[in-house]
Amino acid sequence: MHRIVVAVGSTRPLKLRAVSDAIQAFGPALDAGAQFDVLGVEVSSGVGHTPQSRSELMAGARGRVEALAGVARARREEWGYFVGLEGGLDVLHENGRRMAFLESWAFVTDAAGRESWGHAGGVLLPEALAAEVLDRGAELSAAIDAFSGAQGIRDAQGAWGVLTGNLITRQDVLRAAVINAFAPFFNAALYSH
């Protein structure tokens, strides 16, 4: 059995667990003879603390992968896959109403430079929470702690868990985004048509 390192642009345990859980699900389809090792590396996303548009979310996920690739080159590492995860808001306007959706994005590349995106839906923020982030500049992690009256939400169930009554947690959403991003790799026959 050979070893494939999946480098993730974060050292947050929740993000690393989400990637590990996703790989456990699709790993045999990706490479049945491989042992996948998830490695967290702290890198910058290149975007603000709470992205406020889909393009900024996607830029943050890509930025993490590009930074990871730079670390790999500098260290002369032979990592098999690079994963960038970014969460934040996609702000839309409909019928004069501002709606801020919490979204999670994943960007994946392999050592050969093939790339893919994954997205895991969105949940609407209550206007009071959206106003804290969008109008007053609060970081979402601090705002959700204050909003819920708890501490450390970001590294527990996340804002997703608070907003959905823990039916969907941050880890669940990140796992789904990673699976979606890896689909063209583990389901390559379908994507090659």
Domain CATH code at residue 173: 3.90.950.10
6: confidence class by pLDDT, cuts 50, 70, 90: very high
Can you give the pLDDT at residue 38?
Answer: 98
Least confident piece of the model among 14-18, 46-50, 92-96, 106-110:
46-50
pTM of the model: 0.95
119: confidence class by pLDDT, cuts 50, 70, 90: very high
**Local structure of 116: helix, strand or coil:** strand
Number of folded domains in the chain?
1
What DSSP state is assigned to residue 193? -
- Give the other-Cβ count within 10 Å of 190's Cβ: 9
Q: Average pLDDT for residues 153-162, to the nearest whole number? A: 90
**Local structure of 181: helix, strand or coil:** helix
pLDDT exceeds cutoff 80 at 64 = yes
State how far the Cα of 62 lies from the Cα of 89, in Å rounded to an integer.
16
Q: Average pLDDT for residues 146-169, to the nearest whole number? A: 91
Domain housing 115: 2-191
Place of tokens 């995106």: 117
pLDDT exceeds cutoff 80 at 193 = no
**Local structure of 30: helix, strand or coil:** helix
